[in-house]
Structure 1
Amino acid sequence: MLGTRVLTAAVALPLAVLAILFLPPMGLAVAVGALMLAGACEWAALAGLAMRGRAVFVVAAAVVMALALGLSEADGPVSSDGLVLGLAAVFWVGAIGLVVRFPARWHATLGRRPVALVVGLIVLAAPVVAVAYIDQADQGPLLVLLLCLMIWGADTGAYVAGRTLGRHKLVPRVSPGKTIEGAAGGLATAMILGALGALVLGLDGWRTLGVALLGAWIATISIVGDLTISMFKRSAGVKDSGRLFPGHGGVLDRLDSMLAAAPWFVIGLHLVLLAA
């Protein structure tokens, strides 16, 4: 199993980096969208839909993504992409309460199929919208890569710190393997990568600090994304959300952190880079 995981990662990570750096903005958004549609099928399965229902949900997710991208420049007080990102960001902050209290309130909130499906349409569209938005900015590919490095670094830092220092469980009712020490290691790693990324981007001292703090928040909200999918899997009684990535599980197993981090990264960029 370990060999399969390593081989999958050895193939997937370079492909991801190449796609981020060399695909045109809309091409990268389409690639992320394809992954999110595979994730939509898994989300629908975790919500308890049969095969036909899953197909309908995937089509609905594709429509939401297309509308969010196609109408992003439409006139109005709030753009469609901004609405999707804002709703997703609010949801992930609210999900902290669900994670901490699980299983209390689960069946009254995300455990209800209609709620889970509506939320899924929003949070699955958000990474597509976020990537399309970021990739069109100045140094867009590097910013998308920085987002991914923060997420990957947080995951790796949490794993190493958890394995070597982990003593205190983070949220044992949701994920018994996660520790407070591991989470701290993930935050520290993401902050360091954020600071290094800011230096590569040529930012000044205060904005470098801002990007480092953004890294800490990205690591935090990434954990929330991971734990939220874990709640779904526990409720559905499954170990993995799917089998797309050998040794790693499904799209939601691998990209759960991206679901939560992507909309907040866009918000963070506005706060850090566009602030006077």
Structure 2
Amino acid sequence: MLRQRIITAAWLAPVVLIGLFGLQGGAFALFTAFMVLLGAWEWTNLAGISRQSQRIQLVAGAAFLMLIMWFAGAALAVWPLWCAALGWLLNLYWVTHYPDKGHQWQATGRRLAMGLWVLIPCWVGFNILRESGAVWLLFVLLLVWAADIGAYFAGRQWGKRKLAPRVSPGKSWEGVIGGMVATTLLSIAFALWQPLGLAGGIALVLITSVVTLTSVLGDLLESMLKRYRDVKDSSQLLPGHGGVLDRIDSLTAAIPIFALLYLQVLQAQVLAL
């Protein structure tokens, strides 16, 4: 298993980095759409669709929707991000009330609808951040990785109080705090590097705290869906690593929320430099 994980990571990491930071415009939109559509393929299974023909049709429908959004300019619009913000508030309610409120989302159609406000705004957020400058796309990627690393080590060392035992028994509040410490340090470093000034630095730290917590929610949401579906991984598309959603679950929440807060709060500070 370890050997397979290393082999997959050895070719996957360069492809992802080249795609995210070497491409721009339509090529970047196409690359990120491919990533999101792989996640959509897995989501159809988490939604309870087992027939491959139905899954292909649903993914094709999502691809057509993204194509329309691109030509209509909606792939760089703010309204899908607001939809994501409302959707993630609903996801928070369902995760914190699992399994008591499961009847509200467990129908296949509702899980498919959930996938729309999780995956499509993530694609939009990718495009907005890339258009705004690769540095902010890099920041949100590092934020998610720092949150994961900080949570892992803090959780192992001090984790006692369970975060959501009925959804993901391994996560702890101490891990969340460790992740927030790591991302706060990252945001301070970025504020000094840009530099954003005092007001911009404070804004970035506050935004980082919100996005860090949102990234945790993204992880918990997928865990909830997999638990209900009784599967360990979203798929086996990435040998040794599970599925695409297993790798980007935190990003599906962090990307659109950071993009929204960047546009509404931080962009003015950046443009004033």
The answer to whether the superposition gives a TM-score over 0.5 is yes
Among candidates 90, 95, 107, match of residue 112 of structure 1? 107
**62 and 272 in structure 1: CA distance in 2 versus 1, 3 angstrom threshold:** same
Between 211-220 and 223-232, report the one with greater CA deviation. Answer: 211-220
2:170 partner SS: strand
**198 and 18 in structure 1: CA distance in 2 versus 1, 3 angstrom threshold:** farther
Percent identity between the two aligned chains: 35
CA contact (8 A) 1:198 1:207 kept: yes
**37 and 237 in structure 1: CA distance in 2 versus 1, 3 angstrom threshold:** same
Separation in 1, partners of 2:237, 2:160: 33
Partner of 1:145: 138
Separation in 2, partners of 1:193, 1:240: 30
CA contact (8 A) 2:76 2:124 kept: no
4+ residue runs over 4 A deviation: none
Q: How many residues align?
A: 268
1:29 partner SS: helix
| TM-score for both structures, normalised by structure 2 | 0.91
Separation in 2, partners of 1:195, 1:102: 35
CA contact (8 A) 1:188 1:216 kept: no
1:177 partner SS: strand
2:169 partner SS: strand
Give the letter for the 1:98 counterpart. Answer: W
Are 2:164 and 1:163 equivalent residues in the alignment? no
| TM-score for both structures, normalised by structure 1 | 0.90
**10 and 182 in structure 1: CA distance in 2 versus 1, 3 angstrom threshold:** farther
Partner of 2:260: 267
1:79-158 to 2 correspondences below 5 Å: 81-109=77-105, 111-137=106-132, 140-158=133-151
Which runs of no fewer than 5 residues in structure 1 stay unpaired? Answer: 74-78
CA contact (8 A) 1:17 1:145 kept: no
Name the structure where helix makes up a greater proportion of residues.
2
Give the letter for the 2:65 counterpart. Answer: V
2:45 partner SS: helix
Separation in 2, partners of 1:2, 1:189: 27
Partner of 2:165: 172
How far residue 135 of structure 1 moved from its aligned partner, in angstroms, is 1.2
Which runs of no fewer than 5 residues in structure 2 stay unpaired? Answer: none
Separation in 1, partners of 2:206, 2:26: 29
Provide Cα deviations, 1:150-205, integer angstroms capped at 9, x if missing partner: 11111111111111111111100000100110011111111211222222222112
1:1-276 to 2 correspondences below 5 Å: 1-49=1-49, 50-72=51-73, 81-109=77-105, 111-137=106-132, 140-270=133-263, 271-274=265-268
Separation in 1, partners of 2:202, 2:11: 33
How far residue 26 of structure 1 moved from its aligned partner, in angstroms, is 2.7
**254 and 206 in structure 1: CA distance in 2 versus 1, 3 angstrom threshold:** same
Separation in 2, partners of 1:80, 1:148: 19
Give the letter for the 1:274 counterpart. Answer: A
2:260 partner SS: helix
CA contact (8 A) 1:60 1:121 kept: no
Partner of 1:76: none
Separation in 2, partners of 1:152, 1:272: 21
